[in-house]
Amino acid sequence: MAAPGDRHNQITSPPQPRSLVPPPLGPGLLRAQALGTRDMAGKKELVWQLVLNTRGKTLGKEIVRWKEEALFDQVAEEAAPRARPRLVFRTQLAHGSPTGRIEGFTNVRELYAKIAEAFGIAPTEILFCTLNSHKVDMQKLLGGQIGLEDFIFAHVRGETKEVEVTKTEDALGLTITDNGAGYAFIKRIREDSIINRIQAVCVGDSIEAINDHSIVGCRHYEVAKMLRELPKSQPFTLRLVQPKRAFDMIGQRSRNSKCPADAKVTSGRETLRLRSGGAATVEEVPTEFEEEASRRVDDLLESYMGIRDPELASTMVDTAKKTLSVQEFAHRLDSVLGEFAFPDEFVVEVWAAIGEAREACG
């Protein structure tokens, strides 16, 4: 046995295996632990520390320093999460096609690649997807979540058109969103706006170029900024691509900016949440508070930036739930969504809107 003063440097015998088996861990720690089994030995000690942070009363400090791989792998195996069943989704091309089945995607780009593979087209042909409706219905637009029973309709490139616009007011009356894979498109046209008077421009049209400058690959907030910065009283050209339509597809000409927020279309108790960074996860359907807070934040995104993005709004709500003050919230937003460079007054309004949603939902 080691002398008491040497206890932190020597271990004479390994602990009994039963002392190594922790109670079931939360999903976050399970993922970290599973990753640890595939990393170098230095990472294994980190995973043990994570276990201790949650179960410190049952695991001793010696286990943190114990580096027997067999013992570590035994715990990782016993604590590993049970594999979920395969998630297979049905899909069609919105203008008409046989039904395909897709699986194995973790983000929007991979989703589009799987749909394209199923129908023998290029992923760049897909402008956006709707859930449970083949029509150009922005209330059914695929955002960051897919219900496990949802039917996915892919809207592909149709005719290209060019329109000339003269900016006589500061705002054109457009709300822009993007498909998460390089295409920005029109989600809403405000009534009595400049764009609403141009019949050739429709909800669902993808904006391919401004004054012959390609914007393919730009995010929605970048496109909205370009349009805001165009000088007044000077004409400019928009090159648009409309989605291919079947005969019975009548697109929305416009939508009042004060209409109800876009509904999330989900089925069952769980949804597949797609993320721009990281793997997709199966999650419970959002709570009433999360739905209401995301709706209010999405409305603020439209009024401040001219965009709608339910997934961005949901990410901001998730970030707020982990913070205790508006200062901490602003700091976390900078680290998570720094590319948006949100102004301070906008962050304060978002924090207040999320607080109001919390109060409204009890």
The CB density around residue 151, as the number of other CB atoms within 10 Å, is: 18
Q: Which two tokens stand for residue 318?
A: 């998730």
> Looking at residue 245, what is its pLDDT?
83
pLDDT of residue 269: 56
Distance CA 294, CA 298 (A): 6
Reading phi first (left if > 0) and then psi (alpha if -120 to 50, else beta), residue 232 is in: beta
Report pTM.
Answer: 0.62
Q: 241, 205 in Cβ contact below 8 A?
A: yes
* Per-residue tens of pLDDT for the chain, all 362 residues: 444 444 444 434 444 444 444 444 444 333 334 334 334 444 444 444 444 444 333 333 333 333 334 444 444 444 445 444 578 999 999 999 999 999 998 888 999 999 999 999 999 999 999 999 999 998 899 877 888 889 999 999 999 999 999 998 888 999 999 988 899 999 999 988 999 999 999 999 999 999 999 999 999 999 999 998 999 888 999 999 999 987 545 444 444 433 333 434 444 457 776 766 566 667 777 889 998 999 999 999 988 888 888 888 988 999 999 999 999 999 999 888 888 888 888 999 999 999 999 999 87
- 357 touches 289 (CB < 8 A): yes
Provide the token pair at 329: 């919230």
State the pLDDT at residue 276. Answer: 61
Beta carbons within 10 angstroms of residue 73's beta carbon: 13
Contact 153, 93 (CB under 8 A): yes
Work out the angle at residue 284's Cα, subtended by the Cα atoms of residues 37 and 81, and round it to the nearest 5 degrees: 20
What is residue 160's predicted lDDT score, i.e. its pLDDT? 96
Q: Locate 352 and state its tokens.
A: 């207040």
CB contact at 8 A, 203 and 147:
no
